[in-house]
Chain A
Amino acid sequence: MKTETDFQLKVIAFCCKWCSSAAADLAGTSRMKMLPNFTIIPTMCSSRVDPELILKAFERGAWGVLVAGCHPGDCHYQNGNYKTQRRIFLLRKLLSDFGIEPDRLRLEWISASEGAKFAQVVNEFIERVDELGPLKD
């Protein structure tokens, strides 16, 4: 699946435009090897990531959603990432009610210097959702 060019396995990675996007860029400048199945959608802060956006991604057929933000204390809007954390925690609990495995939603704090971590998190996450397979309708 992952090797086909019209890959079905799709992971959406919401990244705040500060730390986590910078980490994604650094993964690129460091020429990390990454699976092609992820797409970054930037937001100003991870706290912009509405549960509605995440559910929409699953509804549309994303196999997994990663939300990445700055480390606790590093958010560029005071404490947006704490709010994100609370929201994702609650949403993960709710997902099973929709028949979605909570593992398909992942939250990570990734700093601008953690390009390698970004690559590793994304690759591992893709492997994990690959094990879970496509969403059941």
Chain B
Amino acid sequence: MAERIGVFVCKCGPNIGDRIDVDSVVAEAEGIEDVVTAKSHNLLCSEDGIRFLQEEIRKGGLTRVVIAACTPKQYEQKFMRACEGVGLNPYLLQMTNIREQCAWVTPDPAQATAKAKSLVRAATMRATLQEPIEKKEIEIHPDVLVVGSGVAGLEATLTLAQKGRKVYLLEKSPCIGGLGARFEEVYQTMECAPCMLAPELQEVLQKENIEAITYGELEGVVGSYGNFTVKIRRKARYVSEEACIGCSACFEPCPVEVSNEFDEGLSKRKAIYIPFAGALPNVPVIDEANCIKLKGGECNACQEACPFDAIDFDDQDRIEEKRVGAIILATGSTQFNPSSLAQYGYGRFDNVLTGLELERLNASNGPTGGKILLKDGREPRSVAFVYCVGRKEKGHCSGICCMYSVKLAHLLKEKIPGVEVYSFYTDLCLPKKEHQRLYEEVVEKGVEFIRSNGSERVSRDGKGLVVEYKADSTSKSLAVDMVVLAPAIEPNPDTAKLAAILDIPLDERGFFSEEHPLMKSFGTPLEGVFIAGCCQGPKDIGDAVAQGGAAAGRILSRLIPGEKLELEPIVAVIDEEICGGCNTCISICPYSAISRDEEKKVAVVDDTLCRGCGTCVAACPTGAARAKHFTNEEIFAEIREVVR
């Protein structure tokens, strides 16, 4: 059956009307095969224009509509809705731009008119070939998985939970709170970090719709936005979370002592332990690798000491599957290991620390109860900070090291009266509205900032340390008791593991790659998978929290209980009759939307993942892959009319 095509040319007031002979364009359209109506209108996007359009579609029983007007970016959606409103599938509308790309750029009206005619012909021939496309909607699971419980993960979890969402908060370590929970004070507010975090941590543990899974890991993910199935490993804790009341009676009798990673190795812990005083949940774990009993030896000390029978040596890892609609990764980062740069003496000399180690020394829940001490127990009389350790090697500025070093210098000055503090820097990074002030404060307190050329070397001199450096082109040296390094922030090893599990890309530095560095720094190319905090790149607490909130907001606004998720309707389809099974498309799709049907030996597009870029269509050697709404035939028809 022949199509009934209507062509509508908008004058856009004088914008098109004065530059193009609209009547002759309409006359041209009338002469095209299957065009049953061709009309002009003064302002098609106006209310009157929309009414006129709908009336024409109805009256003429139109099966295709061509609108020659402004850029589709402006009103295409409106015109599509107008078509839909009178029962015409919106993908049977074709717009052609005779304003921006014709009337406004072609000085000669005769030429502009001729061009407009050719555009209208091309759009009309294309429209004949267009096919209706149905809106695609899928049922969804509103629950969300958040991986990592640092400040970014906490913010995301609480934002989602406040709206009543069920959230699984998966944390790898035995306690929640991430790095922030291990600091005493935080810039820029210089407030107590545990106090700042405590209410959030409590809420996470108490809120009914949050299930905090500590000592757990993500093992696998299948599915797509709205419908993921995630596999979680709950590692054996050997201590029942229900029975244990956190009395700590079990630590003392344990005969094993190992270095405590939560104090950066500055203290010892037992094989049964909680990471630090006040860690939540307040339930210990037994470290399999070091427990005598779990290694097959004879020991029962903790079990005997526990008054509540909470210790269970038969505990086992459990694999659980959860269904969620979206996933937020907030797994943080790690620090560059300065021992690979011999000049700093880290790992070789006592009292050469990283900033994080000094954080732990300064923390009341740390190895010294908050006393900043040298290895031999004395208070340091002089401390030198060295900034930008590993910046050159890593090739990025971490943006937080200057500020936390300034913070630590400030804390030193407060804690140890008369301590001399020096800061060796090459560049200072003090963004944000309060940072410069804190810097000026420490300068006023007597912290000496020394601009060097980045060639600091640390050596030992008796019990003390010497920093050799070059400033103002002269070599100098300075004797100090303690050196504190500010190593670059780098991705932690789990980043690559998770990227492989989820099939999402990493950037060239190994952090998760964002969907857009500015507009969607919290998104990934995989719909429904978001990133927040330092796993996306180094940042401070404020920025990490903002990303966590943004990711949660995106989920709340699109993944709504009881509502279906609308998907991109313009996708690729593969004709299994034609597909030769070469897999070209599978390897080229940027969204891993194509998989292989092993039985039929053909490629299949998952239209919940496809975003319709058309890469596969261009790459397919057999022509089996077709792009809906951008088929070869449609584009050929345009070409044919344009080059007539």
- Chain A residues with a Cβ under 8 A of chain B: 5-7, 10, 12, 21-22, 24-29, 31-34, 36, 39-45, 47-53, 56-57, 60-62, 76-80, 83, 87, 119
Contacts and interface: CB of A to CB of B under 8 A. Distances in A.
Given A6-B114, A53-B632, A62-B639, A39 B570 contact: no
B617 A12 contact: no
A80 B590 contact: yes
Interface string B100-121: 1110111110111111001100
Interface in B609-644: 611-615, 617-619, 627, 630, 632, 635-636, 638-640, 642-643
A55 to B, nearest CB: 10
List the 8 closest A-B pairs by CB distance, nearest first: A28-B100, A48-B614, A77-B613, A78-B590, A34-B105, A50-B618, A47-B615, A28-B104
A44 B73 contact: no
B471 to A, nearest CB: 38
A77 to B, nearest CB: 4
Contacts of A6: 114
Given A45-B613, A77-B615, A78-B590, A56 B639 contact: yes
A87 B616 CA distance: 13
B122 interface: yes
B334 interface: no
B99 interface: yes
Contact of A31 (B105, B115, B617): B105
A26 B73 CA distance: 12
Given A44-B630, A45-B614, 14 more contacts: A12-B639, A22-B73, A36-B102, A39-B642, A41-B639, A43-B614, A43-B630, A44-B613, A48-B613, A48-B615, A50-B617, A62-B639, A78-B591, A119-B105
15 contacts: A5-B113, A25-B97, A27-B105, A39-B118, A39-B122, A40-B97, A41-B635, A43-B614, A44-B612, A47-B615, A57-B643, A61-B643, A62-B639, A77-B591, A87-B618
A32 B107 CA distance: 9
B71 interface: yes
Contacts of A43: 614, 630, 635
A37 to B, nearest CB: 8
B370 interface: no
A53 B613 contact: no
Nearest to B106: A36
A26 B71 CA distance: 10
Contacts of B106: 34, 36
Nearest to B613: A77
A7 B118 CA distance: 11
Given A32-B105, A36-B112, A36-B115, A48 B618 contact: yes
Given A7-B114, A33-B107, A83 B588 contact: yes
Given A39-B115, A44-B614, A52-B632, A10 B101 contact: no
Contacts of A27: 100-101, 105
Looking at chain A's contact residues, the main secondary structure is mixed
Contacts of A5: 110-111, 113-114
Contacts of B611: 77
Contacts of B101: 24-25, 27-28, 40
Contacts of A24: 100-101
Nearest to B615: A47
B525 interface: yes
Contacts of B115: 36, 39
B613 A28 contact: no
Contacts of B505: 78
Contacts of B72: 42
A62 B643 contact: yes
A48 B627 contact: yes
Contacts of B114: 5-7, 36
Contacts of B591: 77-78
Contacts of A10: 642-643
B643 A36 contact: no
A25 B643 contact: no
Contacts of A45: 613-615
Interface in B359-388: none
Contacts, number: 124
B70 to A, nearest CB: 9
Nearest to A77: B613
Nearest to B513: A78
A120 to B, nearest CB: 12
Contacts of B110: 5
Contacts of B635: 41, 43, 53
Contacts of B617: 48, 50
A45 to B, nearest CB: 4
Contact of A57 (B612, B632, B639): B639
A43 B72 CA distance: 13
B614 A28 contact: no
A50 B620 CA distance: 9
A78 B527 CA distance: 13
Nearest to A48: B614
B521 to A, nearest CB: 14
A28 B97 CA distance: 10
B592 to A, nearest CB: 11
Interface string B29-50: 0000000000000000000000
Could you say which of B505, B570, B591, B613 has the most chain A C-beta atoms within 10 Å of its C-beta? B613
Interface in B95-149: 97, 99-102, 104-108, 110-115, 118-119, 122
Contacts of B111: 5, 7, 36
Given A28-B104, A28-B105, A33-B107, A80 B642 contact: no
A48 B625 CA distance: 11
Contacts of A51: 618
A39 B114 CA distance: 12
A49 B73 contact: no
Contacts of A25: 71, 73, 97, 100-101
Nearest to B111: A36
A92 to B, nearest CB: 16
Given A41-B635, A41-B638, A47-B615, A31 B104 contact: yes
A83 B615 contact: yes
Contacts of B639: 12, 41, 53, 56-57, 60, 62
A60 B630 contact: no
Contacts of A56: 636, 639
Contacts of B102: 36
A77 B588 CA distance: 12
A28 B611 CA distance: 29
A78 B525 contact: yes
A41 B570 contact: no
A42 B629 CA distance: 11
Contacts of B632: 50, 52-53
A15 B119 CA distance: 15
A32 B113 CA distance: 17
Contacts of A50: 617-618, 632
Contacts of A53: 632, 635-636, 639
